[in-house]
Structures are given as C-alpha cells and as structure tokens.
Amino acid sequence: MPRFTRALFLFVIVLAIPIVPFLIWGQRIEAWGESFIAEPPSKGVTAMLIIGLLSTDILLPVPSSLVSTLAGSQLGLLGGTLASWLGMTIGAVIGFSIAKAFGRAVALRFTSEDDLEQMESLTNRLGPATLIVTRAVPVLAEACVLLVGVHQLSWRRFLPPVLLANLGIAVAYSAFGEFAAANEWLPAALGIAIALPLLLLFIARRWLASTT
C-alpha cells in the first residue's frame, strides 16, 4: 500500500473512532447524556470523580480531554478547570514518581519501547519543553512524563512546564464544555473532545516517524 494511501486510511480510522459508537448506540448515548445533565450528582461528588479519573490517566487509558470537557459542562469554567488541572497534575506526578523511583523496566509497563524512544529523540532536541509540547497528545504525554522520570529530571525542572501545560489544557476543555452545555450540544462536543486528541496523536506520530 503506498505511503499516502496508508496515511489516508489511518487518518480516516482516527476520525471514525468517535463517530462509530454514536452510529451504533447513538440513542442510548443521547439518553444517558440527557439523564446525566437532568440529574447530575452534586458538584462536590462530580469534582472528586473528575480528579480521581484524571489522576489514574498515567496508569489507565482515561480520555482526559473528554473528562475535562465534561468537567466544564458540569462545574463551569472555574470549577472544571480546577478539578481537571488537579487531576491531570496528580496523574503526571504519580507517573513521574514511579519512573524516577523504579526506572525504565517499570516505566515500560505503562508505555511502549517505541514511544519512549520517540520521546527520547524529541527531548534530546527540546529538553523539558517537550513536556509542554506533548501534554495535549494522548499516549505521548504519558510516555514523555515516564521518560523524564527515568532520566531523573529534577522536580524543579519537571513541575513548572507540567503545571503550566495542564492549566492551559484544563482551561481550554473546560471552557469548551461549559459553552457546549450552555448551547445544548454537549454530546457533539464530547465526540470532538475524543477526536481532536486522536488527530493530534496521528499527526505527531507521522511527524516523529519522518524525523527519526
């Protein structure tokens, strides 16, 4: 299969991932979304759920963009931003601590050798700024956190870029979720929140493959 055709095929798959579930279970998803919006849990419970989910992002495949968008829709811009920022930061700190304490062998339990190698190539060029560049990209964000932990990056150089990048992402998705809820198109916004990071991952992988 020619390179362009293969790339186009993968691109279509990435865009189809959030669409297919809506085609198959669209009515159920819509009903669930309407019931959640009509009778949501308390804001305190919602915030704790958001923080808890995002805190496990380094260990489990949690769609942080979707969770942060939902946070904004239920908690508003300020509450959604705070919950998302705390959750993503705790998750990054957990991953960094694990990799820093136990090294590459344990880090490979949470990511692949190929992802670590790609992040190593990128960090050799950008340094700790790679943490900012990759924060919005699923898979690569976690791989980058683990890699700098393996290489014993200091907490002083790790925390500032992660805190800053997480804040920007939390603000963006929370504002998006709040706007979508106010205009009654939250289900579509959640689909976009899934598709956009996957598209970024597709583009990032293609770019990294062409530069290594």
For the chain, which residues make up each domain, given as ranges?
A: 15-211
Question: Which pLDDT does position 86 carry in this prediction?
Answer: 96
Torsion, CA 143, CA 147, CA 110, CA 105, rounded to 10: 150
Tens digit of each residue's pLDDT (9 = 90 or more) over 33-48? 555 555 667 888 889 9
Length of the chain: 212
Query: What global pTM score does this model have?
Result: 0.78
Question: Which pLDDT does position 4 carry in this prediction?
Answer: 43
Question: Which pLDDT does position 2 carry in this prediction?
Answer: 47
Low-confidence ranges of the chain (pLDDT < 50): 1-19, 21-26, 29
